[in-house]
Amino acid sequence: MTTGGESPKQTVSFFALPFQRAGVVVLLALALYLIALSLNAFKQFAFIGADIPPLATVTVQGEGKAVVVPDTARFTFAVAAEAETAAEAQEAMTRSLNAVMAYLRDELGIPSRDIKTLSYTLTPRYEWRSRDQRCLGAIPCPPLPDRRRELVGFEARTSVQAKTKDFDLARRAVGNLAAKGATSISEVSFVVEHPEEFAAQARTEAIEQAKERAQAIARALGVSLGRVVRYEEGGNRPVPIFQVQREEAAGAGEAPVPDLTPGETTIQRQVTITYELR
């Protein structure tokens, strides 16, 4: 019994404390064991579903082609002018270029979006001069010690590319560019403006050809064809085929119009495919 405000005394068994310590040790050991199991499970999980390299494979190639008639004509030309000063060269070149642009846009009706400036350059022109007048007529002039490089003028040059789907318009343009102020025509080509559809056709043909070759090999070996384990693709840039011939003037006051024929363009795709053999 307790009297007054005294609380009952609690008694601890002599064997209780060691058993508690043993329980804690067991729980810690169990926790470490569970952690070890978890880590081992994670390691095994990392390999579940991993790609196993095939033991036997066969590699084949295929090629597909799509022959297309080009739908767009492109031509590249340049306008250049030389003068003693840079400003004079730029002014002369600008006058000639404006005349050519007006011809393309106003007379031929080629929209501005189809005319693109490729480059604009202004470069100095130098010549080797010598005090020895006997050297002036020599070709080539020997490198005498008194020769020096002198600035004699400037050249301004602009390179432009235009395109049109009207081939007759392209012929007229190429035939009259020089008369309108162009100093050179560097390229005339016929291209397929959007070759993606034809490239896809060539790719499909190449893949089917490669698959047929792989199936034939698998049948000969007495095995079956499995999954694709590697795929590579290559192809060509469409190369236009065209001819240039001169004809008589198409009309009064016009320069001879060249006969430009687009021909055909071949779009190719080559594929290399590795199949698994089972």
Q: How far apart are CA 208 and CA 5, in angstroms?
A: 99
**Contact (Cβ atoms closer than 8 angstroms) between residue 131 and residue 45:** no
Whether residues 137 and 180 share a domain: the answer is yes
Whether residues 239 and 272 share a domain: the answer is yes
pLDDT value at residue 127: 82
pLDDT value at residue 52: 62
Whether residues 91 and 163 share a domain: the answer is yes
pLDDT value at residue 205: 95
pLDDT value at residue 249: 33
CB atoms under 10 Å from CB of 269, counted, come to 23
pLDDT value at residue 55: 75
pTM over 0.75: no
Whether residues 125 and 220 share a domain: the answer is no
List the domain range (segments joined by +) for residue 100.
Answer: 72-191
pLDDT value at residue 244: 36
Mean pLDDT by 10 residues, the chain (278 residues): 50 53 67 68 51 79 92 93 93 94 93 94 84 55 65 92 92 89 89 89 94 94 92 70 35 57 86 93
DSSP letter at 216 equals H
Task: Please tell me the total count of domains within the chain.
Answer: 2
* Token pair belonging to 230: 């590697």
For residue 139, give the H/E element and its range: none
Q: Residues, the chain, total?
A: 278
Q: How far apart are CA 212 and CA 209, in angstroms?
A: 5
Q: Is residue 98 part of a domain?
A: yes
Q: How far apart are CA 67 and CA 263, in angstroms?
A: 10
pLDDT value at residue 41: 56
Q: CATH number for the domain including 185? A: 3.30.70.2970
Whether residues 205 and 139 share a domain: the answer is no
What residue has token string 């804690």? 24
User: Measuring CA to CA, which residue among 184, 125, 122 is closest to residue 151?
Assistant: 125
Whether residues 104 and 62 share a domain: the answer is no
DSSP letter at 222 equals T
pLDDT value at residue 186: 85
pLDDT value at residue 148: 73
**Contact (Cβ atoms closer than 8 angstroms) between residue 184 and residue 75:** no
Q: How far apart are CA 214 and CA 89, in angstroms?
A: 65
pLDDT value at residue 54: 62
Q: Is residue 37 part of a domain?
A: no
